[in-house]
Amino acid sequence: MFTLHDKSAAVTGAASGIGKAIAELFARRGAHVHLLDRDADSAEKIAAALRVEGFSARAHACDVADLAAVQAVFAAIGPLHILVNNAGVAHIGNAENTAPEDFDRVFSVNVRGVDHCLHAAVPQMRAAGGGAILNLASIVAWVGIPDRFAYTMSKGAVAAMTLSVAKDYLKDNIRCNSISPARVHTPFVDGYLSKNYPGREAEMFEKLSKTQPIGRMGTVDEVASLALFLCSDEASFITGCDYPLDGGFIKLNN
């Protein structure tokens, strides 16, 4: 079950964290994986390691906020069966103290970046006879989180785009779903803690972990496993759905 044998898959933001875990798992399940990231060197190291293991992987330098760059990469990829829109940036701030340039930066990557990839990839997916699109949303699309104004805006847009794409491409055999993670332990979390809480990293890590009712953060491998299911043929009856991967955060935080 859950094989992606001979399917072509593009994963954005694949050089670290969740994107890296998804790209590696997809390759190991038989997909021809294309790792898209601004950090081309890191993406190539991951792709090269996968090739050494005998899997199919290729890295592409790509800033999803740049439409021309996205179009060039997807033209080079050709017919596509799977797209994972994972690339994103975060921002801390409320409606008053979020600067316009920070709002625009989040929008350009998290919203327009998804739009760019959809615009370029859907024709390639149609040429392949259909496929699966997976967007990385967030629990902030469904619940209020302090000081995440721009980020919440962007992930709410991703959740809405998921529904729109799922509806528009039913006739083309293209499914579209999303995952809404709570806190997941990634290099971003470690960097955030070291920058903002030097000397208190372990204490704050524990505090952040306990905001999930299950008592810990998620792992990138757990996100990748759900992504594998939603992009596999076993999920062929699922489209237009969002999956909270949140340790009970949305329903059980009283």
Active-site pick, 151, 169, 192, 243? 151
Q: Residue 34: enclosing H or E segment and its boundaries?
A: strand 32-37
The DSSP secondary-structure symbol of 218 reads B
Residue 199, SS3? coil
Q: d(Cα 169, Cα 166) in Å, to the nearest integer?
A: 6
> What is the per-residue burial (b if ≥16 Cβ within 10 Å, else e) of 40-60?
eebbbebbeebeeeebbbbbb
Q: d(Cα 147, Cα 199) in Å, to the nearest integer?
A: 23
Residue 197 annotated to the active site: no
Tokens of 12: 């954005």
The DSSP secondary-structure symbol of 148 reads B
Contact 228/2 with Cβ under 8 angstroms? yes
DSSP bridge pairs for 93: 148
Active site residues: 151
